[in-house]
Structure 1
Amino acid sequence: MTAAILQPISLLPPSVVHAERLFALIEASRASLRAWLPWVDATRSVEDSRAFLTGVTDGARDGAGCACWLIELNGELAGCIDIHGISKLNGSGLLGYWLADRFVGRGIMSGVVAQVLDVGFDDLGLNRIVIVAGVENARSRAVAERLGFAREGVQRDGLRLHGRFHDACQYSMLAREWRMRK
């Protein structure tokens, strides 16, 4: 276990009070985030981050199919994670996550994903959580593999980024599998 995982990691509820810090984080890591996240190009100002935070906050109040948190490490905003596309009928959701460049490669995201899996399976009552990551997105795939997600296969042309299609690996974790791993 690396020292980074032992550092205090907090999951903050989304709030517009974090809009400036969130935008600064995105701006500082724009080039690397842009490689795998299609929303980065549309995030051009603090107002765009404010609109995002307002949307996920309003959606949570309205029972939308998304649960979102900001990642804070030692009091510093580090990234974002969500379970989106939540289907109460099927007990499933999709996990999305990102960290700013200066936090990458220290084992932080594995710890954050583990926290969110606990919330997804225990608090939200989900049975299945899926990660879809570009075949060439080695860091994102490594998180899924490190935590024991089952690789289900490759979605041919499953991601569209910057006008091009990319193959994507699909991984899943079931509630019973996660409980057995803990």
Structure 2
Amino acid sequence: MTTLAQTHLALLPPGVDHAERLFALIDESRQTLRAWLPWVDATRSVEDSRQFLAGIADGQRNGAACTTWLIELDGELAGCIDIHGVSALHRSGYLGYWLADRFVGRGLMRGAVAQALDIGFGERGLNRIAIVAGVENARSRAVAERLGFSLEGVQRDGLYLHGRYHDACQYSLLAREWKGLRCPR
């Protein structure tokens, strides 16, 4: 797999050699990340990150329907992004992403999502990519909205986090819409 670069932003294929850096990144932003990502509380050690990365590598080698990349800025690990829940039958999938606190607010996620969309709609041949974000997760919703995703509706009690339900916004973007946004007439 190749490294994709956009200015100083790169999406890297994950490997177990990233475990220490990934765990440190999660740990430094633990309180912020855990608000919307249920796996954060279960990530308690470098070994947990190593197992996660090994599982991704195994899955991608075996043709899993999930593709994950590490987000790197100027050689420094900044977060993670994936296309998951892929349906080959319907040519659709979901996008998930997170950044460490110190990288938030710089437009970095918009660039990473744009690269992932180029891959999803191009190389992967998907027609529809969706994002599900908590109604109260303003930053994640802003990424979807700034990149031209359409709000399809609100899933009542669509997320279960920390013992309670949360409403979730569902956004989607179609390949033809992305092409139009990338190549305006």
**Counterparts of 1:33 and 1:147 in 2: how far apart (Å)?**
22
The answer as to whether partners of 1:7 and 1:73 remain within 8 angstroms in 2 is no
Query: How many angstroms apart in 2 are the aligned matches of 1:129 and 1:54?
Result: 26
What secondary structure sits across from 1:78 in the alignment?
Answer: strand
Q: Partner residue of 1:79?
A: 79
Aligned position for 2:34: 34
CA RMSD of the aligned region, Å? 0.8
SS at match of 2:122: helix
2:3 aligns to what? none
Counterpart in 1 of 2:93? 93
Runs of at least 4 residues off by over 6 Å? none
Q: TM-score, normalised by structure 1?
A: 0.96
CA distance in 2, matches of 1:160, 1:63: 29
Q: Is the 8 A contact 1:7 1:74 kept in 2?
A: no
CA distance in 2, matches of 1:62, 1:157: 34
Alignment of 1:63-74 (within 5 A): 63-74=63-74
Q: Which amino acid aligns with 1:166?
A: H
Percent identity between matched residues is 75
The answer for the alignment partner of 2:141 in structure 1 is: 141
Q: Which amino acid aligns with 1:67?
A: T
Partners of 2:61 and 2:124 in 1: how far apart? Answer: 14
Asked if residue 123 in structure 1 is aligned to residue 136 in structure 2, the reply is no
Alignment partners' CA distance in 2, 1:11 and 1:111: 10
Distance 1:130 1:51 in 2: 27
Distance in structure 1 (CA, Å) of the matches to 2:44 and 2:17: 18
Q: Counterparts in 2 of 1:1-182, with a 5 A limit? A: 7-182=7-182
Deviation at 1:7, TM superposition (A): 4.8
Alpha-carbon distance in 1 for matches of 2:106, 2:36: 19
TM-score by length of 2: 0.94
- 1:65 CA drift (Å): 1.0
In structure 2, distance between residues paired with 1:123 and 1:154:
30
Paired residue type of 2:51: A
Letter in structure 2 aligned against 1:168: A
